[in-house]
Amino acid sequence: MKITLLVTLLFGLVFLTTVGAAERTLTPQQQRMTSCNQQATAQALKGDARKTYMSDCLKNSKSAPGEKSLTPQQQKMRECNNQAT
């Protein structure tokens, strides 16, 4: 009886751990990759053109040279600070 309960609890713990791992938020790099991929798909890019676009997009070449791209949290902070002043 105790062994059955212990095994059931262990399986439950493993199940809950895997469910929690699946619900992680995306890192900024993963968010950028998703965004660039969606944009490339919307533009119907294929082959070398897609590779070039993805490379440039992931490098964030649209920003000014020497300017560091902001994370989503940093962007929110900047917007809130601008609204507060």
Structural contact between residues 28 and 72, judged by C-beta atoms closer than 8 angstroms: yes
State how far the Cα of 78 lies from the Cα of 71, in Å rounded to an integer.
11
Residue 31 lies in a domain: yes
Burial class (CB in 10 A: 0-12, 13-18, 19+), 32: middle
Residue 51 lies in a domain: yes
- Residue span of the structural domain in which 39 resides: 27-62+70-85
Residue 8 lies in a domain: no
One digit per residue, the tens of pLDDT, for the chain of length 85 reads 888 877 887 778 787 776 655 567 888 888 889 989 999 999 999 999 999 989 988 887 454 444 567 788 888 998 999 998 8
Residue 47 lies in a domain: yes
Residue 11 lies in a domain: no
Q: Is the pTM of this model over 0.75?
A: no
Number of domains in the chain: 1
State how far the Cα of 42 lies from the Cα of 54, in Å rounded to an integer.
13
